[in-house]
Structure formats: structure tokens, C-alpha cells
Amino acid sequence: MQLTQLEIKGFKSFGDKITINFNEGVTAIVGPNGCGKSNVVDSIRWVLGEQSTRMLRSEKMDNVIFNGTKSRKAANLAEVSLTFDNTKNILPTDFSQVTLTRRLYRSGESEYRLNDVQCRLKDITDLFMDTGVGADSYSIIELRMIDEIINNKEGSRRNLFEEASGISKYKLRKKQTFSKLKDTEADLERVDDLLFEIEKNLKTLENQAKKAERYYRIRDQYKVLSIQLASFRIAGFSKTLAEIEEKEQKQRAEKTAIVAQIDTLEAALQQQKLESITREKNLAAQQKTTNEFVSKIRAYESEKRVKNEQLKHQQDKEARLKDELERDTNQHKHVQYNIKRLNEEKMQEDENLARITSSLADLKEAVEELRAEQAEARGELNELNSVSNRLQSQVYKTEKDIDILNIQQQALEQESLRNMEDASNKEVELSHFNQVVAELASRADTLKSEYDSAVDIETKLQEQIADTETQIKAITADIAADVRKLDAKQNEYNLTKSLVDNLEGFPESIRFLKKNTSWAKNITLFSDILFCKEEYRIAIENYLEPLMNYYVVNSYDEAIAAINLLGNSSKGRAQFFILDNFGGENEAADHKSLEVAAVPALSVIEVDERYKLLCVHLLKNVYLINDTTEQDINNAVLPDDVVLIGKSGKFNKSKFTMAGGSVGLFEGKRIGRAKNLDNLLKEIKQAEARINSLKNKNEELQSTLTALKAAGKAAEIRQKQVELNQLNTELVTVRTKQEQYQAFIENSLNRKQDIANRIAGIKNDIITLQPQLLDLKAQKQEQSELLLEKQQVFNELNEMLSVRSNAYNQENIRFHQQQNKVSGLVKDLEYRESQLENLDSRIMQNSSELEKVKALIKENLQHTENSDDSLLEMYEQKENLEKATQEAEREYYQWRGTITENENEVSNLRRKKDNSETIENELKDARNNLKIELNALKERLSVEFNVDITDLPEKEDTQTGSEADIRDKTEKMKRQLDDFGAINPMAVEAYNEMNERHTFIQAQKKDLAEAKASLLSTIQEIDDTAREKFMTAFTLVRENFIKVFRSLFNEEDSCDLILSDPDRPLESDIDIIARPKGKRPLSINQLSGGEKTLTATAILFSLYLLKPAPFCIFDEVDAPLDDTNIDKFNNIIRKFSKESQFIIISHNKRTIACTDIIYGVTMVEQGISRVVPVDLRQLAD
């Protein structure tokens, strides 16, 4: 299988459609950062079914759709197509070319297509399973995945081994089997739950059934006793009812006497209440007058209290205003004094400020002069420091150079000794490699010969298989075409036969005569006796159309019989040709001489001999012409009895008449139906025979194809190929070691002379540097003395500047303090002047307010004296009114007492009446209760025992025992029935049903247990098979890893692959041991980035040796490698490119130079990635 083409449109930065064609060998994809190289890898992952947006470097899936640029609109669709050449049938499909397409619309809809046929993601996953191709397989490797393999992130290392060993499908089957097992266990648990519930309920139902039987037995006994007790109770009810009716009559007489006394007292009481109402009105009027006067007094008192409060408030306000006036006057005097004092103090402080300002200016000038001198001295000092530091650096550098040269000399001397020892050891090992190379080359030649022989045989078989498949496809196509023709003929036959049998299109009279054949035998319709070629049918049928429904009979007698039959049955009319009357017709029709080319109609029809004279009669002067001669016909002169008709049936013409028009779609189908039906049947049989013959031939070819495929040597070739690859790999590894050792020995000899030359050069350099060092030290000493003198002068200037600066700073502080003091005096003076203005305004306002308050106080004092006299007079009137009210109240309540006594007497009589009515009602209730009990007893007996109460007295004589004995027995049985509680009347039936269900579910449980055991056995079988395949693959990969690792590093380097849990290989982690270049790292993470990359590369190619991937994509995997390791990386890719395609995305020039074809990814238009191909093989030629 080979990757042949990649088409991308609307995916990420590929706004326009681009096509990348892949050939055998190594293809490189290059370009600057950000141009979209990795988007090519993402597109391949995506079309292979990648669902993780993290792997596609996106936050959500619709981000992969082209989002537009400044000048381009966003795309609505992302589409990627990947095409494979499947000539080796690695993919389980009959197609030699497989195109996989994935589309994603911005609306969120997505679809997968396989050879442009819509399919599911599962179909694609199944198609590529165990082929080494997939979104997460080892065929696509990115730089970050190197770390994931090394660190075994999310089990990535184990996933690669499972993919290579081909156990992915077993894991999938195991997962599916576990799912079935889980469902089976769940069903088993549900069955156990059902059995538990059923067994629990089964015991309960059994107890309920037994309880129901005991209940019904006791209830029958209870019924007999209850009926006997009811007879006793009925007799007691009759006696009690008579006593109650007698007491009711006595209570009615007593109640009548009490009612008469109540009526007399109530009449007198009403008269007294009328008199009481009059007295009550008088009392109310007196109370109202008194209350109104009291309210008036209270209002007057309230007004007096308000005036007193106002007077008190005004007096308080007068005292407060006087105090404020006195306080403000004193403060006014004090403020005037402060203003005078502040003005004098301000004048004095202004003089002090002017004096301090003058002193500060003098000090500032002196300080600035000293700072200028200090800056000049600092510049000279810095220059001297710079010279001194430069000299010191030169001294240090020279000393360091001499030390380094001494160390290099020692190292070179040690390296020379070690190099000679290594060369001696390598010469011994080189002789061993020469022997191994000869042996491996001999074995490889033998195996290659066997492999070529098997390939030749397989090639011939494949050619035979291809020829056979071509023949099968051709025969299959012929069968399909013949089947379609057969279906068409069969449909036409069925339609024609239906028309013939049902006489569709014929009048009812014709169909009637067809069904009733008693009037004649072997009679046919005129339309059935004719047959002609397809090209003339429409013309002949249109001309003879009026005669198509005629029956052809032998004699008038047959025609008359048919006519009578139609007349008797009221089935319409029919027409007939009488054959007997055509006996004298001239069979030879004379051919008329016409001005146009014409064909006689009799020459194009086929008819039986017995009907020939009839046809001659009808068509002897009828001719067929081409429609193209229509113009000639119009101008031609026709004989009297000649008729011309067009072949298309468009028209017919005689000397005196002409008819024509459009031709219907179904015209030409009636004539010769019976003959046409026979012809169709013959054609159908011939088609069926031809199809059966082709099917037999196809089956023979299929058998031949099966035999050819069974005789194939593909498995043997693959095995030979694997063995040959392993042997070649081993041979390449040994030869590589041989060449490395030879190169090492030569390099060692060259290196010895080079080291001697370098040691001599180093000694010359040391001799040159020592005098320079002495001269630099002398210059450094002289410069240090000059720097010391200049530093003393600079320090003296610093001290003088410090003294002057302190004096200046102190004077500056005094200046700001004095300035703040003057400013404070100005603000204080402004505040005092504002305070004086406020005091003047407040004194004037309070004086005016005081005069107003004094006037109000005088007015309130005068009003208070007048109101006291009026209030004394009102108190005397109030006392007189209260005495009159008390007298009216006494008279009213005395009369009210008399009424109350009479009302009490009436109340006593009413109580007696109520007692009498209560007793009467109680008697009625007792009587009603007896009737209710009697009815209840009747209903209970009727409902509970289905017994009528009228039958009980008749049974009373047969009763045995007293009422008390019977009641005791009844109550005892009643208690027994109550103690039973609720019973289930359907318990027996339910128990039988549930017992049957229990037996059925027990059988189901047994079936589920057997299914579970079968699933567990299947899982164990899958585990055993997967374990065997995995361990076989792991052993081979481990051997391959050791070989590839040592080919990438050194033969002496140690490496290994170890299962952390050998007892559980399908779940065990895979540990990598790698110790390149004599290192002994505690963890593989301690290796350098390049060593990690080569280690991961060794793992990948050891997997390829076991199961080569059809193609492999490396996305900047070589980034951490140096030039030496890059060459190793490129060599191993070049070697494996014979078996697989390699697609490499890289920035490394060495890697790119080793590829066959380069695709450059650029962004000529901003935001739009484009691809430019370059074939390096053509350039090399």
C-alpha cells in the first residue's frame, strides 16, 4: 500500500485547493515558521479520523475551517482527501485505489466518504485497523511525541507496541466481550433479584392461602350464630319501642302547660320595656348636656395651658438673648485687640525674612562653585580608573591564556596516549568484523535467491489472478446487462399478456364475447391475426384502426349467434368479418403506377394463409411512403382506389379524402399482440439460457480464482522478506561497524601527528605571552600610584563641599520656616477680621430679636389674668348638671331592676320548656336509633350473609341456648375473624402462578450462568492469543531495538526493553534502558535532547522492522540533533525508504538535501498557504 495523493481545501491556512503527490522514497516539506507546514500533518491526522482538538492544535473542531484573511472571506467547508494505492491488498477491500475524504461544514455537520461513498468513522477505523495507518499510529510522529514516547505519557509507548504487534483488534474484541459480560452479569443480577423477590413472595402467598382457608371456615360458623343473635335482638327492639312511645305522649302534655305561662309573662314584660325606653331617652339627653359642657371646660383649660407654655418659652428666649449679647460684646473687644497685635508682629517677621533671603543667596553661590570643582576632579579620577581597570583586565587575560595553553598541552599529551591505545584495540576487533561480514553476505545472497524465486512465482500467479478477475468482471457486466434486458422483455411480455387477456382498450361487447365462447370456437380478433415490422406498425394500425375491434368469423351463422348473445345480454354491439365470403377475391393485387416511391402494405405484413384473402381485400391498394415525400404527394395525381399512408402514421390520403395528425405514445401496440407475445416468450427463454450459461462460466472462473489465490506465496514471500530485511539490517550494522573501525584507525594515525603539531604551537604561544605579561604588570603599578594621588585631592574637595552644603541646607531650612511663619500670621489676621464682621452682624440681630420677645411676654401676661375668672364660673355650672344626671340614672336603673326580675321568671319557665323538649327529643332519638339499628341489622344480614330479616321469626323456635350465650360465642368468633386481619382471596391462584414463574426464571438463570461462563472463556482465549502475539512481537522488537540503537550510537553501548510486570504482559509498562557513549544515567530522562530523539527513533524503526508502516511522517523530529547525529538519522531513513514512504517536515539543510522530492510551503498571499514542488532526482540527473 502506498500513499499517492493528498488534497486539501479550506483546512486551516489552506484557503485554496492544493494537491500533494507522493512517490516512492523520501519527500520533504519545508518552509519558514508559520507558513503552514504542520497543517499538512494535521490534515492527514484529521482525514484519518482524529477527534482530539488538542492533537489538531485547536480549541474546538470548527477552528480547522479556513477563517479568512483581510482580503478573503472565511470558508464554509473544510475538506481533505487522502488517496492510497492498494495494489498489494493490504487494505481489506477489492478496490485497487482507495480515496478517503472527510468534510466539516461550519454549521457543525460532518461526513466521511470512502471512494466518494458516504460512510461512518467506524468503517474507516475498521478498514485501517492493524495496517500501521491511523490518526494515533506510529506512522505520524511529531517532535513532542518523542518526549511522550520517552516519558510514556498516557501510555503512548505501549500503544505503539500494541499497534505493531497487531493486538488492537483483540483488545477491541475483548472490550466488546467485556461489555457483553457486563450486560450478562447485570441480567444475572436482575434475575437473582427477581428470584429473591419471588421466593420471598412465594412463601408469603403460601401462608396467605392457608390463612384464607381457615378464615372462610370460621366465617361460616360466625354466620349461623349471627343470625340466631339477630332473632333475639329483633324481639327486644319491639318491646323497647312501645315503652318509648308512651313516654313521648306524657312529655307533650307537660310542655303545653309551660308554654301558656310563658306567653302571659312576656305580654306584661313588653309593656314594662316600653316605659323603660322612655326613661332611658331622658337619661341619655341629660348625660349628653353634661358631657358637652365638660368638653367645653376641658378645651378652655387646654388653651390656658398652651398660653402658659408660650409665656415660659418667651421668657427663656429673653434670658438667652441677653446672655448672647453680653458674650458677643466681650468677644468683639478681644478680637479688636488681637488684630492690632498681629499687625505689629507681621511687620517684624517681614524684616527677618528679608535678612535670611540675602544670606541664603550668598551660601548657594559658594556651594555651586565647589560642585563645579568636584565634577572636574571626578572626571579626571574616572579616566584614571578606566585606564587602571583596562590594564588589570589585560593582565588577567594574559595570565588566563597562559594557563589555558598549559592545560591544553597536558590534555593533548594524554589524548595522544589514549588514542594509540584505542587504535590498537580496534585493529583486533576489525579482524573479527571482517569474518562476520563475509558470513552474513553469503547467507544474504542465498536468501535473496530464494526470495526472488518466490516473487517470480507469485508475480505469475498475480497475473493469472488479474486476468481471471478481468474475465469475471466482464462476465459479471454481461450478466448484469442481460438481466436488465431480460427484465425489460419480461415486463413487456407481462404487459402485453395482460392486455391480451383483459382486452384493455376494447369495447365491453368484445370483452363479453371473449369470455363467453359458446357462440363459436377458435374465433379471434382482427388485430391479433396481423403482424408486421416495428417501423410499419403505427402506420398500418392507424389505417386499420376502425377495423381493429372486428371479430373474424367463418360464417354468417357464427356472427348471428354472437349478435343474438349480445342482444340478449344487453352488452352492446360488435362487428365481424365473414371469411367464407372472401373466397372469390383475387389474391394477386395489381401494383398501381404511382408518381412517388411507395411500398405496398401487403408486402410488409405477416398473416396466416386462411386470413390472407381478408388482408388482400383490405390492403390491396394501400401503399406506404416516407414522410419526406409529403410535398410530392400533395401534388401527385392518385388513382381512384389507391390510398397512401406515411410510415410514421402521421397521415393517410386517397383521391377524394385525407386524414392525419399527431401520433400517440401507445399507438402501434395493438396490432399483432398475440404474435408479438409468442416472439417475446422466445426471446425471454433465449435470454435466460444465455444468462445461465454466463453464470456457469462465472462460477468456473471463481473456482479458478479461489484456487489461484490459495496457491499464492504471499505469506512465504513476507516471511522471506522479513528474514532478508533482518539479515540485511544485521549486515549493514556490521559493515557500518567495520567501516567505523577502519575510519577510526586511520583517524588515530592522523590524529597523533596533529596533536604533536598543536603541542609545539602551544609552547611557542606561551613563550610569546610571558614578556607581554611582565610589561603589563609594570604599567599597572605606575597607574595605581597616580590614581592614589588624585583620589586624595578629590576627597579633600568632598569634605569642603560637605561643610558648605550643610551650612546652605541649615540656612534654607530657616528661610522656609520664616516664610511659613509670615504666611501663618497673614492667615490668622484674615481670620480675626472675618470674625469681627460676624460678631457685629450677630449683635445687631440679637438686639432686634430681644425687643420682639419682650412685647410678646407682656401680651401673654394680660391674657392669663382674664381667663382665670371665666373658668371659675364654668366649674359651678358643671356641678349643677352632674346632680341632675345622677337623679335620672337612679330612676332608670330602679325601673330596670323590675324588668330583670320578670325576665328571670320567664327564663326559668323557658328552661323547663327546654328540658321537656330535650326529653322529648331524646325519646325520638331513642326511637329512631332503634329503627336505625333494626335497619342496620337488616342490611348487615343482607350484605354479609344474604339473609332477609322477615325470615328470622320463623326460625326462632329452632334456636338453642340463651341470647347471652349466643352473643358470647358470636363475639368470640368475631374477634377471631378480626385477628385474621386482611386476607388475600386470590392467594391460592396467585401462589400457583408465581410458583410457575419461579420455575421459568430459574431456567433463565441457568442459561445466563452458562452464557457468562462462555464469555469468560472467550475473554481468556482472547487474552491467551493476544499475549502470545504480543510477546512474540515484543521479543522481535527488543532484538531490533538493540541492533538499531547500536547502529545509531556505538556497538559497545548498552540498551534494552524490559516489561515491568512480565507476569501480566498485556497490562505491563514497557521500560527503556539506554546508556549511550558509556553513560550510566539513573533515568532515561537524564539523556540529552539529541540522545532522546535517537533513542525514540531506534524504537520506531525497530517497530518498522517488525511491521513496516506504508508511510511515515516525521514533523521536525530532527530538530534536537547535531550534524553527526543528523547524518545517522538520514542514513537510517534512506535505508528504510526502500520499504516505506517517508514524509519529513524539517528546517535542517542536511535532512532536506537527502530527500527525493521537496514541497515548499509558502504564503505568497498573507494568510494563504501554497505548495511548490521540486524533484531533486531530476536536478541530480
Choose which CATH entry (3.40.50.1100, 3.40.718.10, 1.10.1060.10, 3.40.50.300) describes domain 1-139+1111-1175: 3.40.50.300
Overall average pLDDT of the 105-123 stretch: 89
Q: According to the annotation, is 35 in a ligand binding site?
A: yes
Q: Residue 712 — φ and ψ, nearest 5°?
A: -65, 155
H-run or E-run covering 1142: strand 1141-1145
Overall average pLDDT of the 1145-1162 stretch: 86
* Residue 112: predicted pLDDT: 93
Q: According to the annotation, is 86 in a ligand binding site?
A: no
* Residue 505: predicted pLDDT: 63
* Residue 1181: predicted pLDDT: 47
Residue-wise pLDDT tens digits, 1011-1037: 888 888 888 888 888 888 888 888 888
Q: Residue 575 — φ and ψ, nearest 5°?
A: -120, 155
Does this model's pTM top 0.75? My answer is: no
* Residue 590: predicted pLDDT: 58
* Residue 1106: predicted pLDDT: 79
Angle at 464 between CA 463 and CA 466, to 5 degrees: 65
* C-alpha cell recorded at residue 562: 354472437
Cα(538)–Cα(560) distance, integer angstroms: 32
Q: Is the pLDDT of residue 1 over 80?
A: no
Q: Is the pLDDT of residue 1066 over 70?
A: yes
* Residue 103: predicted pLDDT: 93
Flag the least confident range among 80-84, 391-395, 799-803, 980-984.
980-984
Cα(1090)–Cα(1122) distance, integer angstroms: 7
Q: Is the pLDDT of residue 1162 over 80?
A: yes
Q: Is the pLDDT of residue 664 over 60?
A: no
* Residue 583: predicted pLDDT: 67
Residue-wise pLDDT tens digits, 148-163: 788 777 777 777 787 7
Q: Is the pLDDT of residue 26 over 80?
A: yes
Q: According to the annotation, is 661 in a ligand binding site?
A: no
* Residue 46: predicted pLDDT: 92
- Residue 1181, number of CB atoms within 10 A of its CB: 6
Between 596 and 283, the higher pLDDT residue: 283
* Residue 429: predicted pLDDT: 76
> Which residues make Cβ contacts (< 8 Å) with residue 1150, sequence separation at least 6?
1123, 1126, 1127, 1130
Residue-by-residue DSSP string for 593-632: --SS--EEGGGSEE--GGGHHHHHHHHTTEEEE-GGGHHH
* Residue 592: predicted pLDDT: 61
* Residue 102: predicted pLDDT: 94
- Residue 6 pairs in a beta bridge with 20, 82
Q: Is the pLDDT of residue 409 over 80?
A: no
Residue-wise pLDDT tens digits, 474-529: 888 888 888 888 877 787 777 777 767 666 667 778 778 777 777 877 777 777 77
Label the pairing between strands 622-625 and 599-600: antiparallel
Overall average pLDDT of the 549-555 stretch: 84
Place of cell 301558656: 260
Confidence of residue 1100 (pLDDT cuts 50, 70, 90): confident
Residue-wise pLDDT tens digits, 72-108: 889 999 999 999 888 777 787 878 889 999 999 988 8
Overall average pLDDT of the 382-411 stretch: 79
- Domain boundary assignment for the chain: 1-139+1111-1175, 506-669
Q: Is the pLDDT of residue 899 over 50?
A: yes
Q: According to the annotation, is 1060 in a ligand binding site?
A: no
Cα(720)–Cα(1109) distance, integer angstroms: 18
* Residue 341: predicted pLDDT: 79
Q: According to the annotation, is 675 in a ligand binding site?
A: no
Instruction: Output DSSP code: residue 639.
Output: P
Could you check whether 1-139+1111-1175 and 506-669 share the same CATH topology?
Answer: no
Q: Is the pLDDT of residue 1078 over 70?
A: no
* Residue 594: predicted pLDDT: 66
Residue-wise pLDDT tens digits, 815-843: 788 778 888 878 887 877 787 888 788 78
Rounded mean pLDDT of the chain? 79
Are 582 and 553 within 8 A, CB to CB?
no
* Residue 584: predicted pLDDT: 55
Q: Is the pLDDT of residue 15 over 60?
A: yes
Q: According to the annotation, is 1131 in a ligand binding site?
A: no
* Residue 278: predicted pLDDT: 76
Q: According to the annotation, is 32 in a ligand binding site?
A: yes
Angle at 120 between CA 118 and CA 126, to 5 degrees: 120
CA distances from 479 to 485, 684, 685, 693 (A): 10, 14, 15, 10
Are 1140 and 168 within 8 A, CB to CB?
no
**List of long-range contacts for 789-796, beta carbons under 8 Å, 24+ apart:** 790/377, 790/380, 790/381, 790/384, 791/381, 793/377, 794/374, 794/377, 794/378, 794/381
Fold held by 506-669:
Taq DNA Polymerase; Chain T, domain 4 (1.20.1060)
Q: According to the annotation, is 1112 in a ligand binding site?
A: no
* Residue 99: predicted pLDDT: 93
Residue-wise pLDDT tens digits, 324-369: 778 878 877 887 888 887 788 778 878 887 888 888 788 888 878 8
* Residue 101: predicted pLDDT: 95
* Residue 669: predicted pLDDT: 63
- Residue 9, number of CB atoms within 10 A of its CB: 19
Overall average pLDDT of the 959-982 stretch: 74
* Residue 9: predicted pLDDT: 92
**Rg of the chain taking only CA atoms, in angstroms:** 66
Cα(358)–Cα(1001) distance, integer angstroms: 121
Give the closest residue to 99 by CA, choosing from 83, 111, 122, 117.
83
Buried b (16+ CB within 10 A) or exposed e, 756-793: eeeeeebeeeeeeeeeeeeebeeebeebeeebeeeeee
Angle at 48 between CA 57 and CA 60, to 5 degrees: 30
H-run or E-run covering 323: helix 168-502
H-run or E-run covering 1164: strand 1157-1165
* Residue 668: predicted pLDDT: 60
Give the closest residue to 716 by CA, choosing from 463, 452, 468.
452
- Residue 773 pairs in a beta bridge with none
> Which residues make Cβ contacts (< 8 Å) with residue 373, sequence separation at least 6?
797
Residue-wise pLDDT tens digits, 735-768: 777 776 777 777 777 777 777 887 888 888 888 8
